[in-house]
Amino acid sequence: MDRRQRFEKYGWLISKTQSILKHYSCPESCNASCCKHHIIDLYRKEYEKILKNVDKESVNIFKSNAVKSELEGCYKAINAVGQCSLLINSKCRIYDNRPEACRTFPFVIFSDVEAGFGLTLLLCPMSVNIIRDYAQWYKSVNSTMYNQLNVVYEQHKDINKNNDFCVQMKEHNLDSFIEFLERKYSLVSFLCSFSRIWGSEAVEKKMRGLTPHFSHHILLFYLFLYRSTANRLATP
């Protein structure tokens, strides 16, 4: 793979991670645990670009805490207690300019000699939900993977901070998995709007864990309820 192909592959993987991540959010209870336990590596170019775009105080913090990483040509921004030095009161002080690795987290794009780059998903309070959905996607494709991912989900669904366990994301699955998520979450947000009408946040939360197939049954049930109510109101 030449330099241009590697560059394209990297961009492609970033766009796939963003298409997946837009369906999820971080629970407040996590309190930015990734910024405290997972120190990212920055290539020199990215490090310099960030320095140009952030406020003076961030530049000083960044510069005085940057150390050379084990990866060649890379830096880490790590403070005396081993956390990212740009994390202040559990908030990133350069959020709009944060490094690419922070934007794709809990996905990690790693260098691979043959494939250029590969993709892995680290375990954290948000990614357990991605793992749950990935298991649902696998159900009709590979029952062994479905069972394995379900076990991971069940064991870690109440996790409250990130750890180093990771799930490999096969690149040939990504487009189909993203389509699955689009279908699932468009149906879920439609059903959630019904649930909100009836004021049940608990129902809304439950729905995010359903498969598209089951959501479809619920949708039919809601339509049935709606039609029965409309018929009753129309009867003099």
**Chain residues that interact with ligand SF4, rule: CB under 6 A:** 26, 30, 32-35, 40, 84, 86-87, 92, 94, 98-99, 102, 105-106, 124-126, 162
- Give 13 or 34: the residue with its C-beta nearer to ligand SF4: 34
CB of 60 to ligand SF4, least distance (A): 15
Neighbours of 127 (CB within 10 A): 26
- Give 110 or 198: the residue with its C-beta nearer to ligand SF4: 110
Sign of CA dihedral 162, 167, 171, 173: negative
- Give 125 or 212: the residue with its C-beta nearer to ligand SF4: 125
CB of 146 to ligand SF4, least distance (A): 23
Distance between CA 120 and CA 154 in Å, rounded? 20
User: Which residue type occupies 225?
Assistant: L
CB of 48 to ligand SF4, least distance (A): 15
* Residue with tokens 């696998």, as numbered in its chain: 138
Q: Say if residues 169 and 19 touch (Cβ distance below 8 Å).
A: no
CB of 228 to ligand SF4, least distance (A): 41
- Give 35 or 187: the residue with its C-beta nearer to ligand SF4: 35
Residues 6+ apart with CB under 8 A from 89: none
CB of 85 to ligand SF4, least distance (A): 7
* Residue with tokens 């309190």, as numbered in its chain: 31
- Give 1 or 159: the residue with its C-beta nearer to ligand SF4: 159
DSSP secondary structure string for all residues of 133-196: HHHHHHTTT-HHHHHHHHHHHHHHTT--S--S-EEEE-HHHHHHHHHHHHHHHHHHHHHHHHHH
Q: Quick one: how many helices (H) and strands (E) in the chain?
A: 10, 8
CB of 97 to ligand SF4, least distance (A): 9
- Give 21 or 203: the residue with its C-beta nearer to ligand SF4: 21
Give the tokens for residue 182: 């689009």
